[in-house]
Structure 1
């Protein structure tokens, strides 16, 4: 584990010893207050030996280059049998493409280890696994996928005037609809229940409001099984 993960690991160990639960996010009460997404920089791909297995540690933000780099990393080491993920997300379409890269390797397992968090576009990388495991204490965190989160861009087009605003909103709606269709197709192809989109992801608030500040949701162990995010038969760690 990288040095940056040690304080979180220490806190988790202390919680186990004292019986205290890890603090939760008051705005997103199903999620930890300080999820470990790994570094904010572009995702690194590091082969490592863990528990007698060769794994690929995928840590950081998902960028457009990830699918190509991920394929190259797996091809470079034929012993890799698992991809371990922690990420705050990033490029949505790159996440889908990276998930498809993983699925092209028969039997490849994706894992969210205990204490690690996989959010947003990382969900789709993870779901590419032919086999999938969310360890107890691992965090599979979702939100509503939207292109309206870029507040600075929205403010700029509003300043430009009503015509620019109307055009931008139209482009956002079209792009979001296309992404929703791609997400739906991806889940079907990966064997995930469509209810993960309809009952969970698309029911989250896209933007915080006074009435409902929650914009994120972390699935429980029961829910990752219910939506087939993790198949019922869990491989040995």
Structure 2
């Protein structure tokens, strides 16, 4: 790395830290992250194409649902000259996120970006990884966690009410699906050129569910970490 790149990288790190501490409050339960992440309240991810100067960009904002891959494919087909996809999302359907990332990668040359002040969380991480190249702007938040398949509380409660056999069957299904998803995530990272250590050293080190003793379940990557794991690229 050239001395110029090192200086630029240090400047970006300082800028990102100032932006996080000055413009937002820190989450005391997750001290690497903002208290109120700017990840859009859209119940399903919207895909809006806009001109920014001479460039056409797609603003992808909101929750990732099972229908996103089809919408994304259609939007990219209708707008083949899109150069960048800007992401702001609280996550959602993990497999849809992986599929959307692969769709982006199948359209060569599309850059994915987390703009300053925006947050890309959970399944959004995998949509972002489909870009080539990938950019996290100073003050952009790349937030990760441990994926869990136990989010449907009503299904769990119903199984418990039905008795031991139903609960055992549900838990077995969750464990099997979680193992399969972990394998899919690992394969996805390798294909996207991201270090699998992002899963083992960061994502899987987070608690899946907060406890009374430790409510930390999220981790926001620093610029150095994003570079280390190949999530984004060092400036030339």
Q: TM-score, normalised by structure 2?
A: 0.89
Query: 1:100 & 1:142 partners in 2: Cα distance?
Result: 19
How far did 1:51 drift? Answer: 4.0
Match of 2:191 in 1: 189
Of residues 145, 153, 172 in structure 2, which corresponds to 1:151?
153
Query: 1:64 & 1:149 partners in 2: Cα distance?
Result: 16
**Would the aligned equivalents of 1:83 and 1:109 in 2 still touch at CA under 8 Å?**
yes
Match of 1:96 in 2: 98
Match of 1:109 in 2: 111
**Secondary structure of 2:231's partner?**
coil
The worse-fitting range, judged by mean Cα deviation, of 141-150 and 196-205 is 141-150
Give the structure, 1 or 2, with the largest relative contact order (CA under 8 Å, sep 6 or more). Answer: 2
**Would the aligned equivalents of 2:24 and 2:36 in 1 still touch at CA under 8 Å?**
no
Of residues 50, 53, 57 in structure 1, which corresponds to 2:55?
53
Gaps of 5+ in 2: 1-17
Match of 1:22 in 2: 24
How far did 1:211 drift? Answer: 2.2
Match of 1:226 in 2: 228
Gaps of 5+ in 1: 1-14
**Would the aligned equivalents of 1:108 and 1:131 in 2 still touch at CA under 8 Å?**
yes
**Secondary structure of 1:68's partner?**
helix
Runs ≥4 residues deviating over 3 A: none
**Secondary structure of 1:211's partner?**
coil
Alignment of 1:192-203 (within 5 A): 192-203=194-205
Query: 2:227 & 2:185 partners in 1: Cα distance?
Result: 19
Q: How many residues align?
A: 218
**Would the aligned equivalents of 1:149 and 1:207 in 2 still touch at CA under 8 Å?**
no
Query: 1:141 & 1:27 partners in 2: Cα distance?
Result: 14
Q: For the structure 1 residues 46 and 21, does the alpha-carbon distance in structure 2 shift closer, same or farther, using more than 3 Å as the test? A: closer
**Would the aligned equivalents of 2:89 and 2:124 in 1 still touch at CA under 8 Å?**
yes
**Secondary structure of 2:103's partner?**
helix
Query: 1:136 & 1:58 partners in 2: Cα distance?
Result: 19
Q: CA RMSD for the aligned pairs?
A: 1.5
Query: 2:213 & 2:53 partners in 1: Cα distance?
Result: 46
Match of 1:32 in 2: 34
| 2:128 is the alignment partner of 1:126 | yes
**Secondary structure of 1:123's partner?**
helix
How far did 1:136 drift? Answer: 0.6
How far did 1:21 drift? Answer: 5.3
